[in-house]
Protein backbone atom coordinates (compact mmCIF):
# COMPACT_ATOMS: atom_id res chain seq x y z
CA UNK A 1 0.00 0.00 0.00
CA UNK A 2 2.83 2.39 0.85
CA UNK A 3 4.42 1.66 -2.53
CA UNK A 4 1.13 2.45 -4.26
CA UNK A 5 0.73 5.71 -2.31
CA UNK A 6 4.28 6.70 -3.26
CA UNK A 7 3.64 5.93 -6.92
CA UNK A 8 0.46 8.01 -6.99
CA UNK A 9 2.14 10.92 -5.22
CA UNK A 10 5.01 10.87 -7.72
CA UNK A 11 2.53 10.74 -10.60
CA UNK A 12 0.84 13.93 -9.39
CA UNK A 13 4.22 15.70 -9.49
CA UNK A 14 4.34 15.29 -13.27
CA UNK A 15 2.26 17.55 -15.51
CA UNK A 16 -0.48 15.23 -16.80
CA UNK A 17 -2.22 15.03 -20.13
CA UNK A 18 -5.55 16.84 -20.22
CA UNK A 19 -7.74 14.15 -18.73
CA UNK A 20 -9.93 13.88 -15.69
CA UNK A 21 -11.44 16.54 -13.43
CA UNK A 22 -9.24 19.65 -13.10
CA UNK A 23 -9.45 19.64 -9.29
CA UNK A 24 -7.76 16.24 -9.25
CA UNK A 25 -5.69 15.78 -12.39
CA UNK A 26 -4.09 19.16 -13.10
CA UNK A 27 -1.30 20.21 -10.69
CA UNK A 28 -1.60 23.38 -8.64
CA UNK A 29 2.15 23.97 -8.65
CA UNK A 30 3.57 23.47 -12.12
CA UNK A 31 6.82 21.61 -12.65
CA UNK A 32 8.57 24.70 -13.99
CA UNK A 33 7.50 26.86 -11.03
CA UNK A 34 9.67 27.41 -7.97
CA UNK A 35 8.59 24.69 -5.51
CA UNK A 36 7.71 25.64 -1.93
CA UNK A 37 10.45 25.14 0.63
CA UNK A 38 10.31 21.59 1.99
CA UNK A 39 7.37 19.24 2.05
CA UNK A 40 7.11 18.27 5.71
CA UNK A 41 3.93 16.31 5.09
CA UNK A 42 5.94 13.74 3.13
CA UNK A 43 7.80 11.06 5.02
CA UNK A 44 11.50 10.30 4.43
CA UNK A 45 10.59 7.62 1.88
CA UNK A 46 8.21 9.91 0.00
CA UNK A 47 5.05 8.41 1.46
CA UNK A 48 2.29 10.72 2.66
CA UNK A 49 2.53 11.46 6.38
CA UNK A 50 -0.22 10.98 8.93
CA UNK A 51 -3.06 13.48 9.29
CA UNK A 52 -1.55 15.38 12.29
CA UNK A 53 1.62 16.13 10.30
CA UNK A 54 -0.41 17.19 7.26
CA UNK A 55 -2.62 19.48 9.34
CA UNK A 56 0.48 21.01 10.92
CA UNK A 57 1.92 21.67 7.45
CA UNK A 58 -1.34 23.36 6.43
CA UNK A 59 -1.24 25.51 9.57
CA UNK A 60 2.29 26.65 8.72
CA UNK A 61 1.59 27.44 5.04
CA UNK A 62 0.27 30.98 4.69
CA UNK A 63 0.35 30.76 0.88
CA UNK A 64 -3.01 29.54 -0.37
CA UNK A 65 -1.59 27.86 -3.47
CA UNK A 66 0.81 25.81 -1.33
CA UNK A 67 -2.08 24.60 0.86
CA UNK A 68 -4.04 23.76 -2.29
CA UNK A 69 -1.06 21.74 -3.50
CA UNK A 70 -0.83 19.83 -0.20
CA UNK A 71 -4.55 19.02 -0.24
CA UNK A 72 -4.50 17.81 -3.85
CA UNK A 73 -1.41 15.62 -3.46
CA UNK A 74 -2.57 14.03 -0.21
CA UNK A 75 -5.99 13.24 -1.67
CA UNK A 76 -4.45 11.81 -4.83
CA UNK A 77 -2.30 9.52 -2.70
CA UNK A 78 -5.24 8.47 -0.52
CA UNK A 79 -7.65 7.89 -3.42
CA UNK A 80 -10.87 6.21 -2.35
CA UNK A 81 -9.64 6.27 1.26
CA UNK A 82 -9.55 10.06 1.43
CA UNK A 83 -12.51 10.48 3.77
CA UNK A 84 -10.35 10.31 6.90
CA UNK A 85 -8.25 13.26 5.73
CA UNK A 86 -11.35 15.30 4.86
CA UNK A 87 -12.73 14.50 8.33
CA UNK A 88 -9.45 15.66 9.92
CA UNK A 89 -9.77 18.98 8.14
CA UNK A 90 -13.38 19.29 9.34
CA UNK A 91 -12.18 18.71 12.90
CA UNK A 92 -9.53 21.40 12.42
CA UNK A 93 -12.28 23.85 11.39
CA UNK A 94 -14.33 22.93 14.45
CA UNK A 95 -11.37 23.45 16.81
CA UNK A 96 -10.73 26.89 15.34
CA UNK A 97 -14.42 27.80 15.48
CA UNK A 98 -14.52 26.82 19.15
CA UNK A 99 -11.37 28.85 19.82
CA UNK A 100 -12.83 31.99 18.25
CA UNK A 101 -16.36 31.68 19.68
CA UNK A 102 -17.51 34.22 22.23
CA UNK A 103 -15.48 37.38 22.53
CA UNK A 104 -14.53 39.15 19.33
CA UNK A 105 -11.66 37.22 17.81
CA UNK A 106 -8.58 39.07 16.56
CA UNK A 107 -8.26 39.49 12.83
CA UNK A 108 -5.42 36.96 12.52
CA UNK A 109 -7.55 34.29 14.23
CA UNK A 110 -10.43 35.00 11.88
CA UNK A 111 -8.05 34.77 8.93
CA UNK A 112 -6.72 31.42 10.18
CA UNK A 113 -10.28 30.11 10.48
CA UNK A 114 -11.13 31.32 6.96
CA UNK A 115 -8.07 29.51 5.60
CA UNK A 116 -9.04 26.31 7.41
CA UNK A 117 -12.56 26.49 6.02
CA UNK A 118 -11.18 26.95 2.52
CA UNK A 119 -8.80 23.97 2.91
CA UNK A 120 -11.68 21.76 4.06
CA UNK A 121 -14.01 22.98 1.31
CA UNK A 122 -11.36 22.35 -1.35
CA UNK A 123 -10.63 18.87 0.04
CA UNK A 124 -14.33 18.02 0.13
CA UNK A 125 -14.92 19.21 -3.45
CA UNK A 126 -11.82 17.38 -4.71
CA UNK A 127 -12.69 14.15 -2.89
CA UNK A 128 -15.93 13.85 -4.85
CA UNK A 129 -13.87 13.12 -7.98
CA UNK A 130 -11.56 10.46 -6.52
CA UNK A 131 -11.82 6.68 -6.73
CA UNK A 132 -14.74 4.80 -5.25
CA UNK A 133 -18.44 5.50 -5.57
CA UNK A 134 -19.13 8.70 -7.49
CA UNK A 135 -20.98 11.38 -5.55
CA UNK A 136 -24.35 12.56 -6.80
CA UNK A 137 -24.66 15.75 -8.80
CA UNK A 138 -26.42 17.31 -5.81
CA UNK A 139 -23.58 16.42 -3.45
CA UNK A 140 -20.98 17.73 -5.87
CA UNK A 141 -22.97 20.92 -6.36
CA UNK A 142 -23.21 21.47 -2.61
CA UNK A 143 -19.47 20.93 -2.14
CA UNK A 144 -18.64 23.40 -4.91
CA UNK A 145 -21.04 25.93 -3.37
CA UNK A 146 -19.18 25.60 -0.06
CA UNK A 147 -15.88 26.10 -1.89
CA UNK A 148 -17.14 29.30 -3.47
CA UNK A 149 -18.33 30.61 -0.10
CA UNK A 150 -14.98 29.76 1.50
CA UNK A 151 -13.08 31.44 -1.35
CA UNK A 152 -15.22 34.56 -1.00
CA UNK A 153 -14.25 34.75 2.68
CA UNK A 154 -10.58 34.98 1.65
CA UNK A 155 -11.52 38.08 -0.35
CA UNK A 156 -8.81 39.18 -2.82
CA UNK A 157 -7.01 35.84 -2.92
CA UNK A 158 -5.99 34.96 -6.46
CA UNK A 159 -5.31 31.27 -5.77
CA UNK A 160 -8.72 30.79 -4.15
CA UNK A 161 -10.37 32.31 -7.23
CA UNK A 162 -8.42 29.88 -9.42
CA UNK A 163 -9.74 26.99 -7.32
CA UNK A 164 -13.27 28.23 -8.03
CA UNK A 165 -12.42 28.53 -11.74
CA UNK A 166 -11.35 24.89 -11.91
CA UNK A 167 -14.30 23.73 -9.84
CA UNK A 168 -16.77 25.46 -12.17
CA UNK A 169 -15.18 24.61 -15.51
CA UNK A 170 -17.69 23.18 -18.00
CA UNK A 171 -15.77 19.89 -17.74
CA UNK A 172 -17.35 19.49 -14.28
CA UNK A 173 -20.98 18.64 -13.65
CA UNK A 174 -21.33 21.66 -11.38
CA UNK A 175 -19.89 24.41 -13.58
CA UNK A 176 -20.92 26.92 -16.21
CA UNK A 177 -18.64 28.65 -18.67
CA UNK A 178 -19.74 32.09 -17.44
CA UNK A 179 -18.98 31.43 -13.80
CA UNK A 180 -15.73 29.72 -14.76
CA UNK A 181 -14.70 32.71 -16.88
CA UNK A 182 -15.43 35.22 -14.12
CA UNK A 183 -13.38 33.26 -11.60
CA UNK A 184 -10.42 32.75 -13.93
CA UNK A 185 -10.31 36.41 -14.95
CA UNK A 186 -10.47 37.44 -11.29
CA UNK A 187 -7.60 35.07 -10.46
CA UNK A 188 -5.50 36.39 -13.35
CA UNK A 189 -6.06 40.04 -12.49
CA UNK A 190 -5.45 39.54 -8.76
CA UNK A 191 -2.23 37.65 -9.50
CA UNK A 192 -1.05 40.63 -11.55
CA UNK A 193 -1.30 42.84 -8.46
CA UNK A 194 0.72 40.54 -6.19
CA UNK A 195 4.21 41.69 -5.15
CA UNK A 196 7.13 40.16 -7.00
CA UNK A 197 8.37 36.95 -5.43
CA UNK A 198 8.08 33.17 -5.44
CA UNK A 199 4.38 33.16 -4.53
CA UNK A 200 3.50 35.33 -7.52
CA UNK A 201 5.77 33.28 -9.76
CA UNK A 202 4.12 30.01 -8.74
CA UNK A 203 0.63 31.36 -9.28
CA UNK A 204 1.49 32.94 -12.63
CA UNK A 205 2.95 29.61 -13.74
CA UNK A 206 -0.23 27.68 -13.00
CA UNK A 207 -2.38 30.36 -14.66
CA UNK A 208 -0.17 30.10 -17.74
CA UNK A 209 -0.49 26.30 -17.65
CA UNK A 210 -4.27 26.54 -17.56
CA UNK A 211 -4.32 28.99 -20.46
CA UNK A 212 -2.08 26.70 -22.50
CA UNK A 213 -3.92 23.46 -21.71
CA UNK A 214 -7.32 23.63 -20.00
CA UNK A 215 -8.51 26.86 -21.61
CA UNK A 216 -7.16 25.74 -24.97
CA UNK A 217 -9.31 22.62 -24.73
CA UNK A 218 -12.37 24.68 -23.84
CA UNK A 219 -11.99 27.68 -26.15
CA UNK A 220 -9.80 27.04 -29.19
CA UNK A 221 -12.60 25.72 -31.37
CA UNK A 222 -14.71 28.85 -31.07
CA UNK A 223 -11.63 31.09 -31.30
CA UNK A 224 -10.72 29.50 -34.64
CA UNK A 225 -14.35 29.77 -35.69
CA UNK A 226 -14.20 33.53 -35.15
CA UNK A 227 -11.18 33.76 -37.44
CA UNK A 228 -8.64 34.43 -34.69
CA UNK A 229 -5.53 32.42 -33.88
CA UNK A 230 -5.62 30.56 -30.55
CA UNK A 231 -3.03 31.81 -28.07
CA UNK A 232 -2.81 32.68 -24.39
CA UNK A 233 -3.82 36.25 -25.29
CA UNK A 234 -6.86 35.33 -27.38
CA UNK A 235 -8.02 32.76 -24.80
CA UNK A 236 -7.81 35.32 -22.01
CA UNK A 237 -9.63 37.85 -24.17
CA UNK A 238 -12.38 35.32 -24.85
CA UNK A 239 -12.71 34.60 -21.12
CA UNK A 240 -12.99 38.32 -20.45
CA UNK A 241 -15.71 38.59 -23.09
CA UNK A 242 -17.69 35.72 -21.56
CA UNK A 243 -17.28 37.15 -18.05
CA UNK A 244 -18.29 40.65 -19.13
CA UNK A 245 -21.38 39.40 -20.97
CA UNK A 246 -22.49 37.44 -17.90
CA UNK A 247 -21.91 40.44 -15.63
CA UNK A 248 -24.08 42.53 -17.93
CA UNK A 249 -26.81 39.91 -17.85
CA UNK A 250 -26.15 38.75 -21.39
CA UNK A 251 -24.87 35.59 -23.00
CA UNK A 252 -21.53 35.56 -24.82
CA UNK A 253 -21.95 34.22 -28.32
Q: Tell me whether residue 127 is in a domain.
A: yes
* 253 inside domain: no
pLDDT digits (tens, 9 = 90+) for 83-141: 899 999 999 999 999 988 866 667 888 899 999 999 999 999 998 887 656 678 888 88
Asked whether residue 117 is domain-assigned, the answer is: yes
Domain membership of residue 18 (yes or no) is yes
What global pTM score does this model have?
0.86
Q: Is residue 177 part of a domain?
A: yes
Whether 206 is covered by a domain: the verdict is yes
Residue 73 lies in a domain: yes
Contact 93, 146 (CB under 8 A): no
Q: Total domain count for the chain?
A: 1
What is the per-residue pLDDT across 208-250, written as a single tens digit (0 to 9) for each? Answer: 999 999 999 999 999 999 999 999 999 999 999 999 986 666 4
Q: Which domain holds residue 33?
A: 2-247
DSSP string, the chain: -HHHHHHHHHHHHSPPPS-S-HHHHS-SS-TTSPPPS--TTB-TTS-B--HHHHHHHHHH---HHHHHHHHHHHHHHHGGGTHHHHHHHHHHHHHHHHHHSSSPPPHHHHHHHHHHHHHHHHHHHHHTTSSSSPPPHHHHHHHHHHHHHHHHHT-S-HHHHHHHHHHTSTTSTT--HHHHHHHHHHHHHHHHTSPSSHHHHHHHHHHHHHHHTHHHHHHHHHHHHTTPPPSHHHHHHHHHHHHHHHHTT----
Question: Considering the domain boundaries, does residue 252 fall inside one?
Answer: no
Amino acid sequence: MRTLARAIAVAVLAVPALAGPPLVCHPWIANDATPPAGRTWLGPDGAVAGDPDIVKALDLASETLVRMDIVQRVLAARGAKASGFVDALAERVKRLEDATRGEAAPSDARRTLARARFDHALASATAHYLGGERASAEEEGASVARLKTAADALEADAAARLAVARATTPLMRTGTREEHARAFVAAFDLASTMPEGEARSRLRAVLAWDLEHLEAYLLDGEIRGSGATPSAETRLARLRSIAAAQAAGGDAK
